[in-house]
Amino acid sequence: MRIAFAGTPPFAATALKALLAAGHEIVLVLTQPDRPSGRGMKLKASAVKELALSHGLRVITPETLSVKRNPEVAEAALSELQSCGAQLLVVAAYGLILPQRALDAAAGIGVDGSIKSLNIHASLLPRWRGAAPIQRAIMAGDSQTGVTLMKMEAGLDTGPMICSASIPISTEDTAQTLTDRLADIGAELVVNALNHASELVCTTQPEEGVTYAEKILKSESPVDWSMSAEEIDRRLRAFTPFPYMTACFNGEIFKLRAAHPVVGKGTPGEVLSANKTLVVACGSGALECTKLQKAGKSEMPASSFLQCFPLKAGDILS
């Protein structure tokens, strides 16, 4: 099948790799422009771009597909998408809004030929529509999540569903580990679906159970010690590897890189123990912090952290 593909992070690259391995012809790849990365802030290509170029694929990186925002850039990209001869546009975590022209650019597949653009969405729709479904599912304490393939339309993840697959969320899952597992499931799901491209049908999403997964912001990273230890643990796992959670003592901010709930009681934010590990009281229960990171330093075990960041029982973290 002739496929145009739009995606950016490793989650999307996993799907692209699977489509290539299945023998599909990728006629065009859209991905976000190179972004500054690392301490040197050097421009770095997206995971999708790196994979696509390694296979000699045609790649375009428009800053926007909105003709109103940048007519010249958007028009060039949309024209190329419309003229590339794709039978289907597959989208996975692209990160840019796709206008109707993009959604309608491919010829179409399915029983009635109406599926022109297909999205690999990392949740069991209609729960967690939006930008950060994996993180918000962990934060909410959901017991399961999954991947939904849906026909794209102008609304935010409102399109009719083609198929889905679910997996449990473990109490050890971080956003990174869950993303990795869902990427594999999404890749398998889309390849299997396209094996029956002419038979695909869509089902309207139910009106009940709709939730929205807002984008994760760095402003959410400070720990609220008045929360329960279980809530903080879920947030920390949801914010790993970005933006992690931060705490503060005497004006110095540090990151929590790994922790888990333990039995303990005290004023929220109170250091209960600062020996080999750091134990801090929460609104209910306590959090044992096992890996931490000072500003400008690498992640380190709590025992090493406490040698260079002396804390003692009774100190209050904010």
pLDDT at position 40, please? 74
Tokens of 247: 């705490």
Average pLDDT, the chain: 97
User: What is the torsion angle, in degrees rounded to the nearest 10, for the CA atoms of residue 272, residue 229, residue 217 and residue 135?
Assistant: 140
Bridge partners of residue 144, in order along the sequence: 168
What does the pLDDT look like over 68-120, one tens digit per residue?
999 999 999 999 999 999 999 999 999 999 999 999 999 999 999 999 999 99
pTM of the predicted structure, to 2 decimals: 0.95
pLDDT at position 162, please? 98
User: Residue 306's pLDDT band (boundaries 50, 70, 90)?
Assistant: very high
pLDDT at position 169, please? 98
Rounded average pLDDT over 202-223? 97
pLDDT at position 37, please? 82
37: which residues sit within 8 A by CB, 6+ positions away? 43, 44
User: Could you tell me the domains of the chain?
Assistant: 2-213 (3.40.50.170), 218-308 (3.10.25.10)
The angle, 0 to 180 degrees and rounded to 10, between the axes of the packed helices 133-140 and 229-238 is 170
The angle, 0 to 180 degrees and rounded to 10, between the axes of the packed helices 10-21 and 47-54 is 30
pLDDT > 90: percent of the chain: 95
User: Residue 280's pLDDT band (boundaries 50, 70, 90)?
Assistant: very high
